[in-house]
Structure 1
Amino acid sequence: MKNFVFKAAMPAVLMLAFLTTSVSAQTTAANSSDAVSQAAARHAKKHADFVEKRVNELHAKLKITEQQSAQWEAYAKTMRDNADATDKAFLDRAHKLSSLNADDAMQSYAKLAQMHADNMQKLAASFSALYGVLSADQKKTADKLFRNEREERLETASKSH
């Protein structure tokens, strides 16, 4: 189960790393808070689109039934809420970063890391509820998806080029 949660969390971990470097680079390069806001808003839109694509992809591959819709919607809402909260937190940090001393900057990053951990706990809990109502075939699909996610994404990417 730990390996499953880790693989389910991988897109979020990669997004966290990307956001950290992206927002830091944007903040350093930006001459005004408007530039930071615009860059962060563009990134938030891309992130929201990525999350929505992932929600739709998982729904289709897992073949969620009407009877499973309550658990599915809770899981999808958690994914969306986590993404939204993360984007807002990074935007807030980006606005403040130029005025933070090193200690405050480190503390703000620690808060983001804690937020990420808390978000993953919420996501894992909502996924466990969903996983509990999946059929045996759906569980096999979920297990395969989360075990082989990286390979599957690479394969999909190479087919589209």
Structure 2
Amino acid sequence: MKKTLVAIVASCAVSAAFAQTSAPTAASGAQNAAPAVSAASTPGASKREARVEERIAQLHSGLKITSAQEAQWAPFADAMRENARAMADLYRQRIAQRDTMSALDDMKQYQQITQANADGTKRLVDAFEPLYASLSPEQKKLADTSFRQEGHNHGRREHAHRQPRASGADAASATKP
């Protein structure tokens, strides 16, 4: 149950960082510098990268990662970066093709995004598990609290921007992927 919760919260936290392009952020330190990205030529790419790096730096600091835990931390941070790049590429493709896509193309592309999100969540869980195991009891409490709060806050943001759902048989036709 806890592993599932961590996966969901991590996915929500990381996905939120990729999908938004309007929130301003400050770039984080050189210790967590992002590698070059193919999406760097797009206007929002540097903002997205900065948000991801900011979240990585916040987690690193908030979890009080020690030098002995860096070997477990690095794959987790890299998974966050990789997921950010993958989702940014898919959203950029979706936006570029939105005016020419058929309904079937739209559904297939939405399936790709959903699958990439699921794959990204698995990568995060796989990378987070050894890191979590290396954390002290105090750090685990910090992680549990941090991820629980992030998931709670993410849910509030989502509900604020979501349209009401239809019920019953109308539900499938009332929502757009």
Q: 1:120 to 1:77 in 2, by over 3 A?
A: same
The structure-2 alpha-carbon separation of the partners of 1:82 and 1:150, relative to structure 1 and needing over 3 Å to count, comes to closer
Give me the identity figure in percent: 34
1:4-83 map, 5 Å? 4-15=6-17, 18=20, 41-83=42-84
1:121 is aligned with what amino acid? K
CA distance in 1, matches of 2:153, 2:139: 17
Q: Distance in 2 between matches of 1:149 and 1:108?
A: 28
Amino acid at match of 1:137: E
Aligned residue pairs total 134
Could you tell me how far apart the structure 2 residues matched to 1:112 and 1:151 are? Answer: 23
Deviations 1:80-102 (A, max 9, x none): 11101111122122222222211
Name the CA shift for 1:78/1:46 in 2 (closer, same or farther; >3 Å). Answer: same
Q: CA deviation at 1:133?
A: 0.8
2:95 is the alignment partner of 1:104: no
Deviations 1:120-141 (A, max 9, x none): 1101110111101111111111
| Distance in 1 between residues matched to 2:10 and 2:152, nearest whole Å | 14
Residue 89 of structure 1: aligned partner: 90
Q: What value does the CA root-mean-square deviation take over the aligned residues? A: 2.4
Q: Secondary structure at the match of 1:148?
A: helix
Shift of 1:46: 1.8
| Structure with the higher helix share, 1 or 2 | 1
Q: In the aligned structure 1, how far is the partner of 2:146 from the partner of 2:75?
A: 20
1:16 to partner: Cα distance:
6.4
What is the CA deviation profile of residues 95-126 of structure 1, one whole-angstrom value per residue up to 9, with x for unaligned ones? Answer: 22222211111111111111111101101110
Q: Normalised by the size of structure 1, how large is the TM-score?
A: 0.73
Letter in 1 for 2:53: E
Structure 2 segments unaligned to the other structure (5+ residues):
22-38, 155-177
Deviation at 1:45, TM superposition (A): 2.1
Q: Deviations over 1:33-61 (max 9, x none)?
A: xxxxx9x9223222211110000001011
Q: Distance in 1 between matches of 2:126 and 2:147?
A: 16
